[in-house]
Chains A and B, each alone.
Chain A
Amino acid sequence: MRYLPLDDEDRALMLARIGASRIDDLFADIPADKRLTDLIDIPRRMSEMEVERRLSAMAARNVAAGSAPFFVGAGAYRHHVPASVDHLIQRSEFLTSYTPYQPEIAQGTLQTLFEFQTQVAALTGMEVANASMYDGSTACAEAVLMAHRLTKRKKAVLSGGLHPHYAEVVGALADMAEDDTLRAPPDVLAREDIAASIDDETSCVVVQNPDFFGNLRDLAPIAAAAHAKGALLVAVFTEAVSLGAVRSPGEMGADIVVGEGQSIGNALNFGGPYVGLFATRAKFVRQIPGRLAGETVDADGRRSFTLTLSTREQHIRREKATSNICTNSGLCALAFTIHMSLLGEAGLRRLARVNHANAVALADRLACVKGVSVLNQFFFNEFTIRTPRPAKDVIEALVEKGIIGGVPVSRLLPKSGLDDLIVVASTETNSDDDRAAYAAALAEILS
């Protein structure tokens, strides 16, 4: 077997050194009647070529986003990732290293995490950020738990503009933890008065911007209303590139900012792995979940980085830890950091402008299709359209014409009476031809 360096001669010598007569002597603690005698009923070993052939056949049965005009967003976004990003994250020293528990031989990982934390703090307009969470949705659930700890209250108010899956993740954990969740009804037009739902028992209000339907929201009045009641504002984003064009949540008064970082440096990957971003105020640092890299010096006084404030974490604090998280999204965070370093301020701002311009161009085109209306007043690279036919049927009909046209709202919010809405995203990867093809196909389907 190509991955196993020991041969039978080695094995025999090693067994002899151990003083065992056969390998099963080493497995003697497994109750004899539970020890398997036959091989498990799965195929035998395969060559590299066979495995590649078999998996390539599965891959070929999918329609890759790059192979069609593609307009799906709703929590994950297709962006161009520079070739150097994927090259660098595949360097052995990054790819095949463990969590940097021995800092003397892990400064590469630790310094990149420190850079990541600095970038996330700057993007969100917050004072501190952690070294990443699993994804945006789990970061959101952790933010709610952190708000509960900080306020010693147990009720979270979720905006109707929050990604429905994020609301479900928060809701499921809250249900199990026996906390309260008030989930506002879907708020397609960003007209809800969420501040009115905040009371003296509310620990936090969770608001997404740009929201699930693509609307831009002013978080400042919500922050003020929350603070007046002793509650916190948890600001959420699912499209990190938007932060290059819209006001930062920190600027609007958010206390905890969480989001999905996939957009920068990471492929769509059918939902994972992604990278959760988590930022907050410096005074809340001891309640942050997850790892933190910090600066210090070594015995020679040279600047060095290490994991720090670990007493918050499960490996030390056990049942009193701020979270149970252990493994995070290190390599995805690295991809984020490298892509962000390549973009820089200038690149990020331009990338964001191009995204916005493309979305505006698409919205203008689709609004001209008979029977279609664009619902958003303000948006970044994503918006919601209303169609005269059920959105699900429209999307399927578009697939027939080779276009992946967005996400029917009813897929995430079934039985909510929103069957005629499609969330549509456009990034820098879409060309004018893509947009023209979309509008033409939609017109044909609806005619």
Chain B
Amino acid sequence: MNMQGRPTRPEEAELIAPTTFTGNRGLDMEEPLIFETGRLDATGVDIDDPEPFASRLGPHERAAPVGLPGLTEPECLRHYVRLSRKNYSIDAGLYPLGSCTMKHNPRLNEKVARLPGFADIHPLQPFSTVQGALELIETLAKTLMALTGMSAIAMSPKAGAHGELCGMMAIKAAIRARGEAATRRIVLVPDSAHGTNPATAALIGFSVRAVPADAQGIVTAAAVKAALGPDVAAIMLTNPNTCGLFEREIVEIAEIVHAAGAYFYCDGANFNAIVGKAKPGDLGVDAMHINLHKTFSTPHGGGGPGAGPVVLSERLAPFAPTPYLGRNGDALVMVEHAEGGQAFGRLSAFHGQMGMFVRALAFILSHGADGLKQASEDAVLSANYIRACLNDLMSSPYGDRPCMHEALFDDRWLKETGITTLDFAKAMIDEGYHPMTVYFPLVVHGAMLIEPTESESKASLDLFIMTLRDLALKALAGDRERFLSAPRLAPRRRLDETRAARQPILKWTKPAPG
């Protein structure tokens, strides 16, 4: 008989993580840079050298090596799979980054975006060969106009900030057309605005005038009125705003801005809270970008690509950039040169983020009018649920009142603990959560901005809430060590960012021999 047994229950032993030879900790593996493992003669792509031919590179031929190592396919896969496992992701857990809208990314959208009829077509193919692609852009454009109640749209902006630039360029073009370019040089921006707003205004020569929010976190019509004047070109107002609140006086603000001869740019980063509940066009907006990567769930991809189509009011429509959709008989075309028109010009080389358009339209069609409205409601409901369940422990800057799609807390409740917002965020990492957005908006001290989105089940929300409550109680009980040393259980502990900034190392350099 075979009597070779083996233990099938863990032995009693002291729990100390061993130091390993590899530096790996089980599935958490250390991975060198490709420049340290690759070889100049290795490749994962089999290509045969061409038959001898007469080069036409002339004196321009490269003589020097590029200096790029290569990997075979199995090595390459292992390298990037190992690296990927050091990342948090929506698919792995709740990702409550306020203002970033980390909602579920349906895989159908990835599938359809890769159909050769969308992915394998060139932006400069003859229009007769891309009628379906133009139809898709037209369908998405009309849908976005319907959802926002606006009368025109520019599809080419490549991200939210690029959309802001598009809208503000249209506004500047409109002001020029009125002959007021020399006098209207100011753009009003609330203190709580995302940094892209003032940066965009400054990029095209506007000066920024700050508008304060009131004690409720809202920009009042009175505050706008006080800042308005004949020198003002526009206001850039985020709605719902960066504190997660709907700007209650928005209609009145739009009226007084228009009465003063200025335009109303709405930052639509938070449009996801109100899709199907209100139309920006009904609120008096002149231009608004829509972050397809937020509201319509095209994946964030570790920081992009995004897409930022801009809807425009009738007043701004003539100034929309090229190219735009047109018709030649029954056929769709892209109008690439606006002869004699007022278009302000071109924003990017081609027609926009087609790959994102396909995904966004798939998301919209999947939800439909009913599903989109439900998604907005669920997102707002979930944020308020979190707010209501944490309110007794954590402090809110604007009191106990409903929020939109994100719940904002400050750090007053931590004041006596010696624990900062950052420490609290890092402790969440040890609990297996990505932290919320911290220290934004800047107007709220130690801000913690939580956006659960509509993608979480009640069980998931409840566990998140219980986790935060547990951490909050530990913080209030004075368990500082847990927070100051966090994270301990992540692939990395806290980084020396001072060193990274004082002596920037921005690429790998071959170590000197010896």
Contact = CB atoms under 8 A, between A and B. Distances in A.
B83 to A, nearest CB: 4
B169 A172 contact: yes
A445 to B, nearest CB: 14
B226 interface: no
B115 A55 contact: yes
Interface residues of A, number: 209
B39 interface: yes
A298 B494 contact: yes
A97 B337 CA distance: 38
Interface string B375-412: 10110111011011100000000000010100000000
B133 A106 contact: no
B457 interface: yes
A354 interface: yes
Contacts of B495: 103-104, 296-299, 304, 306
Given A44-B369, A91-B84, A330-B301, 14 more contacts: A25-B402, A64-B117, A76-B123, A98-B97, A115-B508, A260-B349, A268-B119, A291-B303, A304-B492, A313-B195, A315-B440, A328-B305, A334-B301, A412-B336
Interface stretch (A198-206, A223-231, A345-353, A433-441): A345-353
A135 B348 contact: yes
B501 A308 contact: yes
B66 A348 contact: yes
Given A272-B350, A324-B161, A300 B493 contact: yes
Q: How large is the interface on B (under 10, 10 to 19, 20 to 34, 35 or more residues)?
A: 35 or more
A422 to B, nearest CB: 11
Contacts of B378: 4, 6, 11
Contacts of B116: 59, 64, 66-67
Nearest to A46: B365
Interface string B322-351: 100000000000001100000011111111
Interface in A50-90: 50-52, 54-67, 70, 72, 74-76, 78, 82, 84, 86-90
B500 A294 contact: yes
A377 B58 contact: yes
A138 B278 contact: no
Name which of A29, A103, A216, A306 has the most chain B CB atoms within 10 A of its CB: A29
Nearest to B344: A172
Contacts of A332: 301, 304-305
B293 A327 contact: yes
Contacts, number: 727
Nearest to A292: B506
Given A173-B204, A308-B500, A342-B71, A92 B89 contact: yes
Interface string A269-289: 111111100000000010000
Contacts of B344: 172, 175-176
Contacts of B499: 296-297
B456 interface: yes
A89 B364 CA distance: 24
A19 B388 CA distance: 9
B108 A102 contact: no
A320 B201 CA distance: 10
B15 interface: no
A26 B384 contact: yes
Contact of B100 (A98, A132, A377): A98
Contacts of B77: 84, 87-88
Name which of A115, A125, A358 has the most chain B CB atoms within 10 A of its CB: A115
Interface string A5-17: 1100011011101
